[in-house]
Structure 1
Amino acid sequence: MAQRGNGRSEWERRQAAARREAERATRERARQEKEAEKRRKEQHVEQQQKLADRRTADVERCVDRLDRVLTDVLQKRPLSFDDFIVTPRIPSFQPGPLARAEPAPDWAEYEPIPPGALGRLFGGAHRHRNALEEARQLHARELAAHAQREAQRTNALAQARAEHDRRVREANTQADAENARLRRQRSDFALGEPEAVEWFVKRVLGASKYPDSFPQRAQVAYRPENRDVVIELEFPPTTVIPDVRGYRYIKSRDAIDPLPRPTGEVKKRYAQLIARVTLRTLFEIFTATQPDVVEAVVFNGRLTTTDRATGKTVRLHLLSVEAERTDFEELVLSKVDPAACLKRLNALVSPNPYDLEAIEPFIDFDLKRFRFTDDMDVVSSLDSRRNLLTLTPTEFEHLIRQLFVAMGAEAWTTIPSKDGGVDAVATSKNMFFGGVCLIQAKRWSNVVGLEAVHALTGVMADHNATTGVLVTTSWFGRASEQFAQRNRITLINGPELKHLIKEHLAYDVVPGVTPPRRAHASDNTQTGRAGPRQ
């Protein structure tokens, strides 16, 4: 029997030691598991914090890019016609295996080895002559086959080169044609041809790089009589402004919470953004065009969205400005406050663009598409359409009365001639003019001068009229348009009058007059004769 020590056997002591070791191992595993769990939690917290930081950084980058929408383009080289020159992309001729000739069969590989002295004693010479003849025939056949393959290769090589040369000529011809069209566009642009100016301005706007969330839709019209470009640009949606300032990790809930951006800040940032987009557009057009072609830019910024009340798609104008080149070039755009800058330019800006509060633009872009054409005078004398210049004053006034009644005028009263030239008073609750409106119609063949618009405002004051309308068969200068915009006067030129008569009276007429393509549109005469620009 084993010896007992302190009342316990050796076996019992071993058992106790084993238990203690097992307990120690258990405690160690528990400690390691606890430390591993702690590290796992720490890593999870760190990962969640990094995720929150990354999301915050993404928001900050987005906001920073929106803040730099204007300043990012100020140092860039303006686009020019040279940027559209086509250089044909012609790959090098790579015939591949066709360029490598196949080695001709080597006679040394066919020639049989001559017999030695012993071989000749036992008939080797005869056998060698036979083998030599067979080798020559085989070599001849291989040479013929090689020549045939080489002929096929050289023929294929010639065809490949001819095809490559054809593609080169085709690419060069296409490039030459594109560049010839570009030269014509450049020449027409210098002459102020509307199609060429509109083409180039559209390319300038299309080349402008905005964030992906921005729509790339714009309409362009050029009015050579005023030397101005009319732009209708789609603004980005209000959702382009992040509604959060960043993200914060909440350890106690193990959650990443967004930090809301104050509503007031969101609205202010959206108003600043559309102001920056407007100034950027004006800057890009003015710097890419020449002063003798584009003297002013009329910018209308609109937003296509869903009407919350009806669910229908609506297009709302949020900003409209007419900028003269001379005024715009005085601005230091890198330092301006965009909203204050537009105010200085007398822009019409929605009081609450984020809330989709619309404004009436300076110029209705849809009517700008009805331009005069060079052949209008000729056409009016050749077809059956009525030429408005051939109407008597009474007939013309009668036509205008019919038009305004069809447009919603509820009353029409002719004013005596001593009133200063105003032809009628109309009232309406649902036309584009509300209340009492004075109407003046000018059957002119030259520009309607600024004095005519001035005179209308005086008569409006005398009659306490709400608005005024000046209708003409000809056109208005830019100074007249600007004055009218500030004084509740609607101007309707020849092409617009033609469009309105067609729409509301179903008469197809022609104004019968063409404005000068490149002459300055005068605004300083009551008689309608061209003179210096105001």
Structure 2
Amino acid sequence: MAQRDSGRGNDYQQQQALRRAQEQRARQSERERKAAVTASKRQERERKTAYQEQQAEQARVRTIGVEHEVEQLGQLLRDALVGDPPTTFERRRRTHTPRALDERPWSRPEPSPRWEEFAPSEPGGLTAVLGLGRKRYEAEVAEARVRFSEAQERHRRAEEKRLATLERKRAEHRQAEAQALDEVATFNTKLDEEREAYRAGDPAAVEAHLGAVLDASVYPVGFPHEHRIAFRPATGDVLVEIHLPPESIVPTARGYRYVKNRDETTVLPRPERERKEIYASVLAQVALRTVHEVLTSDPDRVVNGVILNGHVKTIDRATGQEVSPCLVTLSASREQFGKLRLSQVDPAQCLRGLNALVSPNPYDLEPIRPIVEFDLSKYRLMDSMDVVAGLDSRPVLVKLTPTEFEHLIRQLFEAIGMEAWNTQASKDEGVDAVAVSKDPVFNGECIIQAKRYSKLVSVESVQALAGVVEHKRAAKGVLITTSWFGRASHDFARQHGRLQLIEGPELKYLIKEHLGKDVIPGPVPPKRRPSR
């Protein structure tokens, strides 16, 4: 009985111990679970904090980027004042740096075949003593010699090919080096010729060099580099037409901010007034910088002044067509511009001091009329000739040479009050002279053709002038002759609306009125029949 009680007590103790162990494991498991939950929450908080810090850092970096963009826009002019011009004739010269040929692929010969690699093993031991297998060995030697000879022949051919390839590569390399050296020499020779032509004031050389200068000018990303240049040797003025950056070059955001409770990055907008002020400053800086770079890149002082037109390429919202409104136009002489301390000026006020015309609302692309409304780059102009001084009393115009007559017409238009230039023969597309005036009668660019005729000028000549006027987009075409035009020509000119015909009698009057010379145009035109 005592033994049974003792057994039951032991069972009870074991059950209690087992229960306590289970409870202890359960408590341990709960502690581990809670610890895991706590760790998971901590990791989630840390991940969220890291994410928010990353988003805030990205917003800060983007803000710094925008601030840097705006800072660059404010330094456009000052950047050009530091250091040398964008390029010079000397810096445009090319040099040739010889390149060594990498001969490693063909310089190392393959190892020659060795007989030991082909020779069969000689018989040994008892076989050698008894002389057994001798014939077989000799056959193997003969076969090995054949294979050895073939290997030597393959090696010889491979070596010949390697040496031939190496020599060919060397020859190609020498040829390429000689060609590169010749190209550099040819380029530099042409550059030297251009340099001399520049000193002489050749329009093509001046335009080419100044074009290279503007091409080499470094602007921030997004700025256009398109330009057109025309040089007037008669006055020393250079006409520069540049494309200005669009209004989108000014960042619309002042900065960025990350909002934690919404988990989003918001844009801090730049006020419209500030955007307009920055854009107006950019246009003024680009205009002043362009004039500065043109004048400082002219060591021979061939250029006396700069006429600048700044256009912006955009889309007309009313028509959907591409347009290029002019937003800035100015004319400055070298002497006038040289008095400016560009490092100290306010760009917008400086333009006003130069009497520049600036769009009243450049941010809205409100256009202005350029100071010079023509494109001289369409024409190749030639040096002027004084014909009037050589005219005798009552000269007959038809006895002048064609060139003399064309220059006389140019001098007539200059005396009327216009700026005029003759074009080079064979390069004028039927244009003998170009004249420009702000007079509302002429309203801009005139294309002039001079016909030193003694008979009727055909209507085809009038129609051809109309085609040139349209092609050159000129404001007006003037056809002047020492003879006369037919009724069809007058009707065509009247219907076209932008053609003016000047016959011999009217030409005689104009020369008398403006040049003080009494001339005889040519034959008297026949009387016209009255219109029915």
Q: TM-score, normalised by structure 2?
A: 0.67
The residue that corresponds to 2:395 in the other structure is none
The partner residue of 1:86 within 75, 81, 94 is 94
- Using the TM superposition, name which of 137-146 and 305-314 deviates more: 137-146
2:347 maps to 338
Contact 1:271 1:354 in 2 (8 A): yes
Question: Quick one: distance in 1 between partners of 2:45 and 2:107?
Answer: 69
Q: Is the 8 A contact 2:373 2:444 kept in 1?
A: no
Residue 58 (structure 2) aligned to one of 51, 63, 71: 51
Are the structure 2 counterparts of residues 133 and 19 from structure 1 closer, same or farther at C-alpha, using a change threshold of 3 Å?
A: closer
Question: Which amino acid letter does the alignment assign opposite residue 417 of structure 2?
Answer: L
Aligned sequence identity (%): 35
Matches of 1:381 and 1:373, distance apart in 2: 22
Pairing 1:242–2:251 present: yes
Q: What amino acid is aligned across from residue 71 of structure 1 in structure 2?
A: R
- Paired residue secondary structure (2:94): coil
Instruction: Give the structure 2 partner of residue 38 of structure 1.
Output: 45
Separation in 2 of the partners of 1:113 and 1:506?
Answer: 104
Aligned residue runs from structure 1 range 75-474, under 5 A: 75-78=82-85, 79-88=87-96, 90-102=98-110, 146-367=155-376, 369-373=378-382, 387=405, 444=411, 470-471=417-418
Flag structure 1 segments of 5+ consecutive residues without an equivalent: 392-442, 449-468, 476-483, 512-525, 529-534
Taking structure 1 as the reference length, the TM-score comes to 0.67
| AA matched with 1:56 | T
Kindly indicate whether the alpha-carbon contact (under 8 Å) linking 1:228 and 1:296 is maintained by their aligned counterparts in 2: yes
Tell me: CA distance 1:43–1:112, structure 2 relative to 1, closer, same or farther (3 Å): closer
| Residues 375 and 493 (structure 1), Cα distance of their counterparts in 2 relative to 1, 3 Å cut | farther
CA, structure 1 residues 474+114, in 2 after alignment: closer, same or farther (shift >3 Å)? closer
CA drift at 1:268: 0.1
**Residues 196 and 2 of structure 1: is their aligned pair in 2 closer, same or farther, counting only changes over 3 Å?**
farther
Q: CA deviation at 1:506?
A: 6.3
**Equivalent residue, structure 2, for 1:402:** none
Q: Deviations over 1:20-53 (max 9, x none)?
A: 4444444333333332232222222211211211
1:335 CA drift (Å): 2.4
Aligned residue runs from structure 1 range 473-492, under 5 A: none
How many residues align structurally?
429
Aligned to 2:448: 498
**Cα deviation, residue 163, structure 1:** 2.2
Q: In structure 2, how many angstroms separate the alpha carbons of the residues matched to 1:106 and 1:311? A: 82
Equivalence for 1:453: none
Q: Is 1:28 the counterpart of 2:35 in the alignment? A: yes
After superposition, what is the alpha-carbon deviation per residue over 1:317-339, rounded to whole angstroms, capped at 9, x for unaligned?
A: 11011122222233232222111
Q: One-letter code of the match for 2:71?
A: D
The amino acid of 1:49's aligned partner reads A
User: For the residues of structure 2 that align with 1:147 and 1:51, how far apart are their CA atoms?
Assistant: 67
CA-based RMSD of the aligned residues comes to 4.5
8 A Cα contact 1:376 1:510, kept in partner = no
Q: Which residue identity lines up with residue 73 of structure 2 in the other structure? A: L
Aligned to 1:401: none
Q: Deviation at 1:136? A: 8.5
Query: Which residue of 1 is the match for residue 390 of structure 2?
Result: none
Superposed CA offset, 1:254-295 (max 9, x none): 221111111100000000011111122112211111253112
Secondary structure of the residue that 1:298 maps to in structure 2? strand
CA distance in 1, matches of 2:359, 2:353: 15
